[in-house]
Structure 1
């Protein structure tokens, strides 16, 4: 790893003072799987540059980590120097008031804005423009599908991706020919459709004034498509990350999955390693582009070693070699554009039948809109999912469901 030892990455270039470099420092990092694998990869590489810096990693399960960090920010106790935050929580943490504003001195993170995927910075900011995290990886949306099952049903990739209606029709042919479900859950269609037509600066659930924007044509179409998939019997009614979900892949019962590009690594490493060569990746149906997750690192206001924490964050997020190392190590698609342009993008992926799928993911990353986030997005998502469940399971009228969702969200988030 000689690239890590270039003089440009020396102490002064990384922004640490000579005094700080002379001291022994321990940086505490709080993260979650699989993002914590990036920290484990980074520690020995960073220590080659800074042998006096110790990095102490604490990793909890995804939900437990974010619960613990929410509590820590509220109480001001047990805070790490470096805090990992998933995209689903960044809005909540941005509004907490407990994180350093990385846009301001001495961090000055806005200088890196043009170096990373354009949709990442708005995600890391509060409504007041406070930037609480540096993007370390992104999840450009992709449609993964079982080519062997599609071939058996006489369904092509073009059939799957031409339109959402064509996607559903393909599922009917697939189910009849193979008995497999096209997708695990009809909810997946809703999740991507409500994000796919947004313009830069728009939010999924709220407008700029904080008013819910749920009772509209975008959500109505999303609900209609999900209902069409459920009525056609082409989804397994299975939630992601459940035991049934992983078994569905292992038993050839789920023929496609819309998710972040990182799913390829999960399929290969633990979900369905025996299906090597059978999966392919495509762009999402109907010309949609969206982001499935993304990770950030921030510095709590009450962190003990802010200068060292920020230096380590910069190493993780703005160093091409480190970003590529994480990409190679655990399929974390880099936020850094320079890393996206690395030759590694052009290498075939054996699990995907030799397909150069990373090229597709790079294209998707460049087309994702720069959405605004709101601290009440998780609340709105919970309400919307409950109403969609009423539509799918109880045949509730879609128009009534969306009106009820709009009213419920407005009541719960009174500003």
Structure 2
């Protein structure tokens, strides 16, 4: 154990004691599967800091973020360390309830060069303050069922050559297997609006804060989603719902575009019985996009900030702990040193022995460092609502995007 602890101590510049009170209890609020990273870290951290107890409180993904939203709004029942999914960073950062980790005594900027270049700025939530530190990232990838493709006479290249080819392949797969190409047509929209962006550009807003919704990028995203729905290739099933998870158990989906972390979800709870049947590829049409990722933050009203910061550093900027999460969760590390470890080239048993991590590394290296805006979550809600109008009510796409732009401008009123 000591041989493991020495590099950890050196990597973090830690001593074997903290300037915090004896028997400090640090409460960590998290959600599955990220909570498994905390469970793995607790005994190692305890060896370094016997005076600190880590108490993990884990709730289902939606329940966790709802509870944290309430806690930040009321200033009560706040943890010392708060796990935050990428989709909630903007909302939580805007609340003003999280510590700015770029300032003393944290000085998180010292770690910027050590972390994936597109991930660190995501932790600002568009507010300018460093509200959270990334622990894992989500290089976008296309998961697919090789057995279903084989049955339909479809190749991986048919899926990835272009979006049109992807849709054509989906028709063959459904005819041969009865499986949907993808759970929801909304997933297509989520990829396309993130594609083709350059460093410094935003998904929903430009550098001047003007809405980017009524543009050819969103037009194409809506058109492709509509084409998938019209062809009957999606199950119209929302991600993370009970229906969604049950559909995986019944082999209802042939593909799923998500972040690399989804491999852990498939293996650990969604579809473990399909071991060896899933594979991964780059996204269709040469797209490279970030899909989610997990972060840690410290609430302003946290009781034990010094110990909380030490634990966050232990989770995020220590190579051994980042690799431990990588091994157990397939949570692709945000730490560059961990990304360059030989482990990246080991085969993934669940994915039929494919060297998937190397593919994810190639994707991560090509993802643009896009700007995050604090109103992104507002824009997303409006865009998703208008896409529903297109998919369910057959609303004209151009009108839907024009309406979305108008609604966003009314809501944000910069």
Q: Which TM-score tier does this pair reach, normalised by the shorter chain?
A: over 0.9
CA distance in 1, matches of 2:242, 2:70: 29
CA distance in 2, matches of 1:182, 1:283: 16
- How far 1:11 moved relative to its partner? 11
Number of the residue aligned with 2:6: 6
TM-score, length-scaled by structure 2: 0.95
Number of the residue aligned with 1:80: 79
Write out aligned runs for 1:304-323 (5 A).
Answer: 304-323=303-322
1:188-240 Cα offsets, whole Å, 9 max, x none, are 10011001122122221122333221111000000011111111222122221
Number of the residue aligned with 1:328: 327
CA distance in 2, matches of 1:327, 1:11: 18
Structure 1 pair 179–127 and aligned structure 2 pair: CA distance change class (3 A): closer
CA distance in 2, matches of 1:8, 1:245: 40
The answer to whether 1:369 aligns with 2:361 is: no
- How far 1:355 moved relative to its partner? 0.6
Structure 1 pair 10–54 and aligned structure 2 pair: CA distance change class (3 A): farther
CA RMSD of aligned residues (A): 1.9
CA distance in 2, matches of 1:19, 1:401: 55
8 Å contact from structure 1 (residues 11, 21) kept in 2: no
8 Å contact from structure 1 (residues 3, 321) kept in 2: no
Write out aligned runs for 1:188-337 (5 A).
Answer: 188-337=187-336
Number of the residue aligned with 1:114: 113
TM-score, length-scaled by structure 1: 0.95
8 Å contact from structure 1 (residues 15, 311) kept in 2: no
- How far 1:15 moved relative to its partner? 6.8
Unaligned runs of 5+ in 1: none
8 Å contact from structure 1 (residues 30, 57) kept in 2: yes
**Local SS of the residue matching 1:167:** helix
- How far 1:254 moved relative to its partner? 1.1
1:281-332 Cα offsets, whole Å, 9 max, x none, are 1000011111221111111222222211111111000111001111112222
CA distance in 2, matches of 1:199, 1:42: 36
CA distance in 2, matches of 1:11, 1:116: 14
> Which range moved further: 144-153 or 22-31?
22-31
Structure 1 pair 3–408 and aligned structure 2 pair: CA distance change class (3 A): farther
CA distance in 2, matches of 1:148, 1:352: 12
Structure 1 pair 7–412 and aligned structure 2 pair: CA distance change class (3 A): closer
Number of the residue aligned with 1:350: 349
Number of the residue aligned with 1:402: 401
CA distance in 1, matches of 2:130, 2:245: 36
CA distance in 2, matches of 1:305, 1:202: 37
Number of the residue aligned with 2:67: 68
- How far 1:128 moved relative to its partner? 4.7
8 Å contact from structure 1 (residues 11, 49) kept in 2: no
Structure 1 pair 314–293 and aligned structure 2 pair: CA distance change class (3 A): same
CA distance in 2, matches of 1:62, 1:92: 16
CA distance in 2, matches of 1:253, 1:64: 26
- How far 1:74 moved relative to its partner? 2.5
CA distance in 2, matches of 1:114, 1:401: 41
- How far 1:10 moved relative to its partner? 6.4
Number of the residue aligned with 2:48: 49
CA distance in 1, matches of 2:12, 2:237: 52
Structure 1 pair 241–72 and aligned structure 2 pair: CA distance change class (3 A): closer
